[in-house]
Amino acid sequence: MHEMAIAHSLIKIAIAAAEKEGARRITRVNVVAGELRGIVPTQFTFCFSLMAENTIASGAYLGLEITPVTAKCKNCGESFVVEDYRYVCPKCQGEDVQTVGGTELRLRDIEVE
């Protein structure tokens, strides 16, 4: 369950940022994760809540945005959303494509009191 490790790291980052600004409490944490990260939202939400217990992030809402896998065709330059893990350009049917999105994982922002 890699969700636990990710949640732990995000909580640590959010707490450090909040404390640096003198916040007493974190009320919301917004995260962007690419589809290829394989994060299961319900598991991630559970792990996030567990990792936040007894911290200034306890009870914070987790906003999770999953971004799709995107690619760019090396033959014709077409950018497209990869559906059903089919890495084929919809314009020229080329298979020489480069993944350009869907692997990201970032803490977008936090809300504090």
Provide the pLDDT for residue 86.
Answer: 96
Mean pLDDT of 62-87: 97
Sheet holding 79-81, edge to edge: 79-81, 70-73, 97-101
28: phi then psi, degrees, rounded to nearest 5: -155, 140
Q: Which domains does the chain have, with CATH numbers?
A: 2-68+101-112 (3.30.2320.50)
pLDDT for the residue 1:
61
Please state whether the predicted TM-score (pTM) of the whole model is above 0.85: yes
Reported as a single tens digit per residue, the pLDDT across 29-43 is 999 999 999 999 999
Q: What is the pLDDT of residues 6-62, one digit of tens each?
A: 999 999 999 999 999 999 999 999 999 999 999 999 999 999 999 999 999 999 999
- Burial of 47 (C-beta count, 10 Å sphere; 0-12/13-18/19+): buried
